[in-house]
Structure 1
Amino acid sequence: MAKTTKKKALGRGLSALLNDPDNDIKSTEDKNADKVVGSIVELSLGAIEVNPFQPRTSFSEDTLKELASSIRELGVIQPITVRKLEFNKYQLVSGERRYRASKMLGLETIPSYIRIANDRESLEMALVENIQRQDLDPIEIALSYQRLMDDIDLTQEELSDRVGKNRSTIANYLRLLKLDPIIQTGMRDGFLSMGHGRALINITNTDIQLQVYERILKNKLSVRDTENLVRHMQQNKDTSKPSSEELRVDEKKSKSLKQISSYFGAKVELKVNKKGNGKLIVPFSSDEDFQRIKKLIQGDS
């Protein structure tokens, strides 16, 4: 019983500090700041605003309902983190899913860690913590990295130290932002993996990027299939000069041949005899490449 009384007394002490407008704590230099900063306090949900620097921009309604159900049964196990803006006003640093789920339940308060920081520090805290702890999609992570570099003025080397990732890993994420916006949306919606995105980024022409993207979705190509397709497209991208075989066919067949070659990501050959009979030859470089071509053919059937 004594232990419970002590806990309640501590809560009253913190509440008194936070609700005293004459001695409002605004910085780490203020009196009693050390008693508040880093402490877990039940804050009114109405006193907390969403952090505009939050990298996650979409939240699944189903997963929020699942979290709300868990909170209803067990409470908020992990406190959210907020920074103090002014008297009785706070801003989320991390924990927006817990915040949203608690509001969904109609709760009045939520356990919170309190931090005092300027906007630059808050941005860095929010982005770094979310990159490390949240289940962000590859584009959200890439956007977070880019924002850290732009707004905090970090180099890739400095960013690597802050988030504990290799520079090459960061560079791979940042390159995803060069993809066509439609493809980026596909990655955010889970239709493509980061591996697919890394393969597509090697295609500089966005129109061709989108063509391959559609082919990935239609034929359910794996990352390895996509890598092979892109590699073959790059190896056979110089189609400005027709081959000797192409010169033997009429213009309509020649155009079709180029389209077929583009589809298979390989230099398809067309051989036609005097009677008009012929055959298409689709080359492959390995068993994996053969399986890739097979999937493309089956997807068309």
Structure 2
Amino acid sequence: MSNSKGLGRGIDALFQDFSALEDVDVHKEQVLEISLEDLRPNPYQPRKIFDEKGLKELAHSIQQSGVFQPIIVRKSKIKGYEIIAGERRFRASKLAGKETIPAIIRDFEEEAMMQVAVLENLQREDLSPLEEAEAYDMLMKNLNLTQVELSERLGKSRPYIANYLRLLSLPTEVKELVQEEQLSMGQARTLLGLKKPEQIILLAKRAVKDNLTVRQLEKLVTEYNTFDHKQPKKVSKKLAPKPIYIRESEERLMDKFGTQVAIHEKEGKGKIEIEYVSSDDLTRILDLLQLSFDEDE
């Protein structure tokens, strides 16, 4: 394959380069004390969330014994230095109240910065599913790679990368549940099988609330899709927008029951429609209604 696109080197070479970043011989390389104020994170760092407890523990260690392993940086084209490897040590040093940190300056091009930012975290399994998906997306866009080319560069299968990239199409609210580890990647992937995108948020909330397994969620997705398929197609007609209080009431009811709810009002009267997709789903809703009655007594 031509080197005009992509990283131009194999995965073995990339991992060797990354291993070399952490395998520093302080006797052969010049270690400098660099002000923390002159440092900024790798702009291609895919990890957005750092474990606060782990950082505090590392900060305590640094207060007691200092930083054993120098971080790796490059000179910034704007000002100061950019961190190539060692952002946790950098953050922990700031928490520890340090003013400087030992560092080694190396020359790295933009492509190498992207590579290291992703490989460092993939090798240590530090990324959440969404962060990993965003890292693949970033590499593909910035280096003009296809999924096949990226899979060859990283040693991952194309379906593996494709499954992660699909997570990026989830609604923002569901992405937050994945990022907060309330939804697993398996659950998130299952939700993507829904034919109606508007049902994804509802079923995601229900999965969290009812602590559904992936298998249970798969069954529900199948029921939802089958139920929608059986619905007769109605002739579309323009309806007047519902008042805000009606829409808010629908949303509250949908959050409670984990399914579609519609309120129809006319001349001060109306009806509430609660959708269910199977007899089990109906039983679940009736149990919720009975629970509400019992609480009111």
TM-score normalized by structure 1?
Answer: 0.65
Match among 58, 61, 86 for residue 67 of structure 1: 58
After TM superposition, list the pairs within 5 Å mapping 1:13-24 onto structure 2.
Answer: none
% same residue: 38
Within a 5 Å distance, the mapping from 1:207-226 to structure 2 comes to 207-226=198-217
- Once residues 241 and 88 of structure 1 are traced to their aligned partners in structure 2, the CA distance between those partners, rounded to angstroms, is 64
Task: Say whether residues 1:41 and 2:31 are aligned partners.
Answer: yes
Report the counterpart of residue 52 of structure 1 in structure 2.
43
Aligned pairs for 1:1-301 (under 5 A) are: 39=29, 41-44=31-34, 45-85=36-76, 89-241=80-232, 256=273, 259-261=275-277, 266=278, 268=279, 282=280, 301=291
1:202 maps to a residue whose letter is G
Q: Counterpart amino acid of 1:107?
A: K
Gaps of 5+ in 1: 1-34, 243-254, 269-281, 284-292
- CA–CA distance in structure 1, aligned partners of residues 136 and 43 of structure 2: 16
Contact conserved, 2:47 with 2:126, CA < 8 A, in 1? no
Supply the AA of the counterpart residue of 1:43: E
Distance change in 2, residues 1:299/1:93 (3 Å): farther
2:196 and 2:229 mapped to 1: Cα distance? 14
Change (3 A) 1:216 1:81: same
Preserved CA contact (<8 Å) 2:32 2:104? no
Distance verdict in 2 for CA 1:212–1:88, change over 3 Å: closer
* TM-score for both structures, normalised by structure 2: 0.66
Unpaired runs of 5+ residues, structure 2, are 1-24, 234-271, 292-297
* Aligned mates of 1:229, 1:195 — CA distance in 2: 14
Distance 1:184 1:41, change over 3 A: same
For residues 107-137 of structure 1, what are the alpha-carbon distances to aligned partners after superposition, in whole Å with 9 as ceiling and x for unaligned?
2332334331222321222123223325111
CA radius of gyration, larger in: 1
Distance 1:178 1:148 in 2: 17
Deviation of the 1:297 alpha carbon:
7.2
| Per-residue CA distance 1:132-176 (angstroms, 9 max, x = gap) | 325111111000000000001112122112222211111100000
Relative to structure 1, is the Cα distance of residues 89 and 39 closer, same or farther in structure 2, using a 3 angstrom cutoff?
farther
Aligned length: 228
Q: Which amino acid aligns with 1:194?
A: M
| Root-mean-square deviation (Å) | 3.2
Write the distance in 1 (CA, Å) between the matches of 2:113 and 2:99: 25
**Distance (Å, rounded) in 2 between the aligned partners of 1:148 and 1:295:** 45
Question: Kindly tell me: are residues 205 and 78 of structure 1, through their superposed partners in 2, closer, same or farther at Cα, counting changes over 3 Å?
Answer: farther
Structure scoring higher RCO (CA < 8 A, sep ≥ 6) equals 2
> d(CA) in 1 for partners of 2:286 and 2:92?
47
The amino acid that maps onto 1:58 is I
